Amino acid sequence: MSKSTVINKVLITAGTHGNEMSGVEYVRNLQSNEQILANLIPKQSELNIEFTLVNNLAIKNRCRYVEEDLNRQFTLDKLSKPSGENLEHILALEFNARYGPKTKPSTDLLIDIHNTTSNMGPTLIILETDDFHQQMARYVKSHMPEAVILIEDHIPYQEHAYLCTVGKRGVMIEVGPQPQGVLRPAAYLQTEQMTQILVSFCDLWNKSAVPQTDEVEAFRLTKEVKFPVNAEGRKLAMIHPQLQNKDFSVLNNGEPVFQSFEGKTITWDGDDNVYPHFIGESAYYHLDVAFALATKTVI
């Protein structure tokens, strides 16, 4: 089936990471509060919208995951296994059977809600830049100018291990800063607003009524940058105070990126005009990932 078809079934998920509370609270509210649900559904809409919390044990335990990161389980290889090797792999197989399968999706659009400890603002992560996603990005920016569009298309859509790729199309809402395990009002409100805008976009898309707008600024992921470590793998530096919280601000060669524990500044030795994001993200600290880089583009 062509990807230019109508969006019938939309699935909104949260709790893929159990300690990301803006999505968890919002989906709980959509499931239990008619007024909040009514605010999401456009009038005279024929969209079929479902909501689900994905990793309920991780939510109960107030942790990102129990055994393995659930949002890294959705490769075609892992989904092809007859049985799961750990809790999150089992959840992935069950989720894929119910809402996918990834090879022949029954869900037209999967919106997976996350938050980050980094100062990324309300970010929409898209994995493709076809007409649908291009128009979606422009529609989001026109209704929420502070939104950031982040493109992760360095690999083909199906090769991503993200939960949202179980849908025919999949996107992620990634709002920050919000510490793990707690709700901040700005993150909650931005999450709710971006979800409403995405649903309203789908309704207009189906009616061929998306207003045509000019191209908008976006960022394209290029690579991750690691903390400097010693031979034993111990970190030798922290994020430089001048870089902290500067997500999606330009970084040029020679500008500070790390500060050693002795107080020495370590500068960026790389391309000019790069845009750090996920700066100091809590979930990546133990992986020694200091930040990700993007280039600026338009979509």
Which residues of this chain interact with Zn ion, rule CB under 5 A?
Answer: 17, 20, 114
Q: What's phi and psi for 97, nearest 5 deg? A: -70, -35
Residue closer to Zn ion, measured from CB, 17 or 102: 17
CB of 263: closest distance to Zn ion in angstroms?
33
Smallest gap, in angstroms, from Cβ of residue 265 to Zn ion? 31
Minimum distance, C-beta of residue 17 to Zn ion, in the bound complex (Å):
4
**DSSP symbols for 42-76:** PTT---EEEEEE--HHHHHHTSS-SSS-GGG--SH
Nearer to Zn ion, 148 or 237 (CB): 148
- Residue closer to Zn ion by CB (options 20, 247) is 20
In one-letter notation, the amino acid at residue 195 is T
Q: Phi, psi at residue 294, to the nearest 5°?
A: -135, 160
Cβ 125 to Zn ion, closest distance in Å? 10
Shortest CB 118 distance to Zn ion, Å: 11
CB of 112 or CB of 203, closer to Zn ion:
112
Cα 119 to Cα 190: distance, rounded to the nearest angstrom:
13
CB of 112 to Zn ion, least distance (A): 8
Residue 293 three-state SS: strand
Compare residues 17 and 246 and give the one whose CB is closer to Zn ion.
Answer: 17
Spatial CB neighbours of 3, under 8 Å, sequence gap ≥ 6: 130, 132, 168, 169
Are 140 and 124 within 8 A, CB to CB?
Answer: yes
Q: Are 51 and 72 in contact (CB under 8 A)?
A: no
Chain centroid offset of residue 43 CA: 27
CA 10 to mean position of chain CA atoms: 16
**Residue nearer to Zn ion on the CB measure, 114 or 240:** 114
Tokens 């690999």 found at: 155
